[in-house]
Amino acid sequence: MAKARVHKNEIGNFIKSVLPRLTSKPAQDALASLNVSMHGEDGDMRDIIDIYSEVAEKTKSLTKDQKIAVTEGLAGKIFAV
């Protein structure tokens, strides 16, 4: 598998726009549709990598359209390509 080269500015822009979206209604709806919680049993926010890893695992069995809907909810249309 070929590795994609991503410019550091793209990564920075992704983080600045995607992470704050997690608290938005569309992101919360997307997480709820997968039964993924942002918070652990102790009430603290879970590690972001753990959240996205769980999302990745739970989207494996979804259709392409369902995956797009979840991705748009979490990241918006620009990053859902």
pLDDT in tens, the chain (81 residues): 556 676 777 777 777 776 788 889 999 999 999 999 999 999 998 988 899 899 999 999 999 999 999 999 988 776 555
Residue 1 lies in a domain: no
With contact defined as beta carbons under 8 Å apart, do 73 and 30 qualify? yes
Q: Is residue 49 one of the residues assigned to a domain?
A: yes
Assign residue 70 a region: left if phi > 0, alpha if psi is -120 to 50, beta otherwise?
alpha
Q: What is the largest CA-CA distance in the chain?
A: 40
Residue 37 forms part of a structural domain: yes
Domain count, the chain: 1
- Domain hosting residue 57, numbered range: 25-81
Q: Residue 8: what pLDDT?
A: 74
What is the predicted pLDDT for the residue at 79? 54
Residue 5 within a domain? no
- Bridge partner residues of 45 (DSSP): 39
Does residue 40 lie in a domain region?
yes
Helix spans in the chain (H): 8-18, 25-33, 48-59, 64-75
pLDDT at 76: 78
Residue 78, domain member (yes or no): yes
- Distance, in Å, from the CA atom of 58 to the CA atom of 32, rounded to the nearest integer, reads 12
Asked if residue 80 is part of any domain, the answer here is yes
